[in-house]
Amino acid sequence: MRARHHDRWFPLTVAEQHSRFVSDVPDGHPPVLTPQFDQWASEWLATDPVSGGGSTPSVRTPSGPRADMLAAWSGDPPYEPGLIEAPTCIVRGEWDSMCTDEDARGLFAAITSSPLRQDVKISEGGHLMHLESGRRALYRAAAGFLLV
């Protein structure tokens, strides 16, 4: 049976994205989301040619990655970490609720065929560090690993 369009994607609004971006920041801590969020949001909406077609602008977001995450969280990842032979760096934020310390430890331990593995936890970072004030720490971690 062919999947209906709403089985393959789901709408995601700017407000939902904003909530996602700020939800990991502890209460009382200054915001870490960059002031460029509004510009990013406008450009993000423009990636979907029909984003403005509804009463609330949204982007059609593929359901596949969400299904893969749910499968991984249930102990059935869509790939076999032990078969990864490439150098691998896990970079995550201290406040990241999507990739916890336990998640990272489990993945790191399961990547047994890689000649070089690294697990980097960036302080005061959430899951979406590329849009946070501390994003340069993310860039340094990635560049440092790639230049090894």
The verdict on residue 3 lying in a domain is no
**What is the reported pLDDT for 6?**
62
H or E element, residue 89:
strand 88-93
The verdict on residue 121 lying in a domain is yes
Residues written for the chain: 148
What is the number of domains present in the chain? 1
- pTM comes to 0.82
The verdict on residue 32 lying in a domain is yes
Task: Out of 55-59, 101-105, 132-136, pick the least confident.
Answer: 55-59
- Predicted confidence (pLDDT) per residue in 62-119, tens digit: 999 889 988 988 889 899 999 999 999 999 999 999 899 999 999 999 999 999 999 9
The verdict on residue 2 lying in a domain is no
- Strands 88-93 and 58-62, bridge-based pairing: unpaired
Contacts within 8 Å (CB) and 24+ apart, 30-36: 32/124, 32/125, 32/126, 32/132, 32/133, 32/134, 33/131, 33/132, 33/133, 34/131, 34/132, 34/133, 34/135, 36/131
Q: Write out the residue range of the structural domain in which residue 39 sits.
A: 8-146
Residue in this structure with the two tokens 């602008």, named with its chain if needed: 57
3-state helix, strand, coil in the chain (%, to 5): 45, 15, 40
pLDDT of 18 strictly over 50: yes
- Predicted confidence (pLDDT) per residue in 36-47, tens digit: 899 999 999 999
The verdict on residue 1 lying in a domain is no
The verdict on residue 102 lying in a domain is yes
